[in-house]
Structure 1
Amino acid sequence: MIDVPLRVLIVDDEAPARTRLRDLLGDIDAAQPTVLLGMAANGVEALRLLETDAADVVLADIRMPAMDGVEFARRVACLPSPPDVVFVTAYDAYAVEAFELTATDYLLKPVRAARLAAALAKVRARRRNAPPGAAGGGRRHLSVTERNRTLLLPVADVLYLRAELKYVTARTAERDYLLDESLVHLEQEFQHAFLRVHRSCLVARAAVKGVERVGEDEGDAHWEILLAGCDERLPVSRRQWPVVKQALGL
């Protein structure tokens, strides 16, 4: 099966860097076919190009005049059909912020052909597997601060989100993480991936393996969510059960 070429836009304020990326795309074209839509010197020029030509992926530097790569990524995320953004930079200090901005990958200069090919393969796989209308937009990592370090937690690894006091607990198959975000905000942002089962709990739709009615003998009958990859059960409130039932197609 021959892959359809990815439409690529290169954004870098240095002409030699733009030329190198263009040449690297040519070198890996057999493995990762692409079509170069154009090259821009900053985020402002790149946004103008995207007004007339839709890109699948943008290879963007971070430190640029007029509009840097970080601000450009924020603007791109608001487009109706946003392209994937792969940051290409000489600085590793922006890695966490890049992934918070939903960057698909983060390449350090000088970029090697094999590393660029791997990034494009990741873009291709993500766009192929994304649900309709979901390609490009939305965070794919949550920031977790622990012991003076920041971890990037993939949203896809989260089984459920539960509000506890002023924090939200994100549960994965391995452990719990504390998030300094509101459950309401997370529900609004990830409504395609999470379903509210209780006023204080959201469950990942992909983690639901079934439901079970319990408590009949105790006079407190209710439904519980059964999770894949976790023995814990999540109670469904009476108020949310009709919504949950419809969402799960029960």
Structure 2
Amino acid sequence: MTTPLRLFLVDDEMPALRRLEDVLHDCASECPIEILGTATNGVSALAQLAEADADAAIIDIQMPQMSGIELARELQSLSQPPAVIFATAFEEYGVAAFEVRAVDYLLKPIRRERLLDALNRVAEMRAAQAQAEPASHARSHFSVTERGRLHLIPVAEARYLKAEQKYITLRTREREYLLEDSLTRLEEEFGSRFVRIHRNCLVARDSLVGFEKMPSNGGETHWVAVLKDVPERLAVSRRQQHVIKEFKKNG
């Protein structure tokens, strides 16, 4: 059985989105699809696509806040960007679409045959990529929204992830960000990159410099982790002190 193409749709006009969904369903008998989600502007689409595992995004071009061309350019920063198919009523953006590596450029009203050609092209690209490299399901970026502005933080820049009440503190070399996520889920997704040192804290393996003993208030000492480029010391729980032994063994 053919794995459905995972699609994400972006258009600022709801009737256009509904029409696109109808044409896609007409194509499904020849090219199975799964619609992961929709967005009515580029900013929202970028945030969702940073989290989604989409094979392709079908994107309108003239949209408020962020144009389809700008969105496609931003998507290229992802480690596994979706293929881009533009769907627009305007012919004059063809050169710009080529510059952002669009798979196809469809003019509205979209015909089933043209859309099916574009989907088959994406399916062929996906099959070629699957043969060339192993699949990776971990994100390359964390998406953080602050005061209406979207930040894409490369996972490689994270020094630690610490659970605090309802949020996760994401620490980079420069500053802290707040994530709405679960530490357990993050550990499952990024277990090869991070190691748990406490029930509320994961640290990046490549940022770990070593461990130190520090005095506690009661006069006893406890272990803390020392991280590269981060001044604070992070407590290591007794349950996780095997990490210290493994670090010394591998170091």
Deviation at 1:150, TM superposition (A): 2.3
Output one character per residue of 1:56-90: Cα deviation in whole Å (capped at 9) or x when no partner.
xxxx895772326757x99x95xxxxxx9675855
Is 1:103 matched with 2:80? Answer: yes
Q: Which whole-Å deviations, capped at 9, do the CAs of 1:111-163 have from their partners, x for residues lacking one?
A: 22xx54xxxxxxxxxx9xxxxx9753311111212112222111111100111
Aligned partners of 1:207, 1:218: CA distance in 2, in Å? 30
Work out whether residues 102 and 138 of structure 1, in 8 Å CA contact, stay in contact via their aligned partners in 2. no
- Quote the offset at 1:96 in angstroms: 11
Q: Residue 61 and residue 222 in structure 1: after superposition, are their counterparts in 2 closer, same or farther (change >3 A)?
A: closer
- Residue equivalent to 2:172: 172
Give me the TM-score of the superposition, normalised by structure 1.
0.53
Other structure's SS at 2:197 match: strand
Measured on the aligned residues, the alpha-carbon RMSD in Å equals 4.3
Cα distance change on mapping 1:217 and 1:142 into 2, 3 Å = closer
| Secondary structure class of the residue paired with 1:104 | coil
Residues 207-244 of structure 1 show CA distances to partners (whole Å, capped at 9, x for unaligned) of: 11122222289632222211112122111111101134
Residue 245 of structure 2 corresponds to 245
Could you tell me how far apart the structure 1 residues matched to 2:173 and 2:179 are? 17
Query: What amino acid is aligned across from residue 110 of structure 1 in structure 2?
Result: A
Instruction: Tell me the SS of whatever aligns to 1:192.
Output: coil
CA contact (8 A) 2:193 2:204 kept: yes
Preserved contact between residue 208 and residue 225 of structure 1 (Cα < 8 Å): yes
Q: Determine the structure 2 residue equivalent to 1:211.
A: 211
Runs of 5+ consecutive residues of structure 1 not aligned to the other structure: 1-43, 51-59, 78-83, 117-126, 128-132
Secondary structure, aligned partner of 2:239: coil
Query: Could you state the TM-score of these two structures normalised by the residue count of structure 2?
Result: 0.53
- The answer to which of 213-222 and 168-177 deviates more is 213-222
Work out whether residues 197 and 203 of structure 1, in 8 Å CA contact, stay in contact via their aligned partners in 2: yes
- Cα deviation, 1:159-203, whole Å, max 9, x if unaligned, reads 001111111110011111001111111111111111111111110
Contact 1:160 1:202 in 2 (8 A): yes
Asked if structure 1 preserves the Cα contact closer than 8 Å seen for 2:195 and 2:204, the reply is yes
Sort the Cα spacing of 1:197 and 1:230 in 2 relative to 1 into closer, same or farther, 3 A: same
The equivalences for 1:85-234 within 5 A come to: 89-91=59-61, 92=67, 103-104=80-81, 110-112=97-99, 116=101, 136-215=136-215, 219-234=219-234
CA distance in 2 between counterparts of 1:165 and 1:179 reads 11
Unaligned 5+ segments in structure 2 are 11-19, 38-48, 62-66, 87-95, 102-128
Q: Relative to 1, partners in 2 of residues 1:86 and 1:193: Cα closer, same or farther, differing over 3 Å?
A: farther
One-letter code of the match for 2:164?
Answer: E
Q: 2:119 aligns to what?
A: none
Q: How many residues in Structure 1 have an aligned counterpart in Structure 2?
A: 171
- Greater radius of gyration (CA): 2
* Mapped partners of 1:158, 1:190: distance in 2: 11
Query: 1:110/1:191 Cα in 2 relative to 1: closer, same or farther (>3 Å)?
Result: same
What is the aligned-residue identity percentage? Answer: 37
- Quickly say closer, same or farther: Cα 1:160–1:102, change in 2 above 3 A: same
Give, as a single letter, the amino acid of the residue that structure 2 aligns with 1:189: E
